[in-house]
């Protein structure tokens, strides 16, 4: 779910773009985009926090989370822009199941905070 947004923030789902104010649900396959003045903060059900700065595009490739076992999987692609992540329960209980991709690399996460900047990439 989008918890915070400022400036131009949209969600693209099934080829259609719509404004993404706080409270917007983000689903598998969604591309979250920020404009040149945009900023967005997303909280996933396992309490993973993802932020994206201006002119950024994020794709949620996969997300499953069992609230009883705290197991599941997360795969998100940082297509362009700047991102911050604070991992949640999935990384704590199943670190091997959490991955983030950029156009040139794949990051396996072991329960931490990190920042990523993707330069010169297209968000296709």
Render pLDDT for 50-73 as a digit per residue (tens, 0 to 9).
999 999 999 999 999 999 999 999
42-56 pLDDT per residue, tens: 999 999 999 999 999
- Confidence band, pLDDT 50/70/90 cuts, at residue 91: confident
Average pLDDT, the chain: 89
Q: Which of 50, 52, 45, 10 is nearest to 31 (CA)?
A: 10
Domain 2-118 has CATH 2.60.40: no
Question: Is the predicted pLDDT of residue 114 greater than 70, yes or no?
Answer: no
At residue 27, φ and ψ (nearest 5 deg) are: -115, 165
Average pLDDT, stretch 31-49? Answer: 96
Q: Where are the domains of the chain?
A: 2-118
């Amino acid at each position: 779910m989008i918890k915070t947004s400022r400036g131009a923030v949209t969600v693209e789902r099934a080829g259609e773009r719509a404004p993404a104010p706080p409270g917007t649900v983000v689903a598998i396959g969604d591309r979250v985009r920020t404009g040149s003045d945009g900023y967005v903060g997303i909280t996933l059900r396992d309490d993973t926090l993802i932020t994206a700065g201006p002119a950024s595009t994020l794709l949620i490739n996969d997300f499953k989370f069992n609230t009883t076992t705290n197991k599941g999987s997360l795969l998100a692609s940082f297509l362009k822009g700047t991102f911050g992540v604070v991992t949640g329960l999935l990384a704590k209980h199943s670190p091997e199941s959490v991955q983030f991709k950029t156009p040139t690399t794949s990051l396996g996460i072991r329960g931490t905070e990190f920042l990523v900047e993707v330069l010169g990439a297209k968000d296709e």
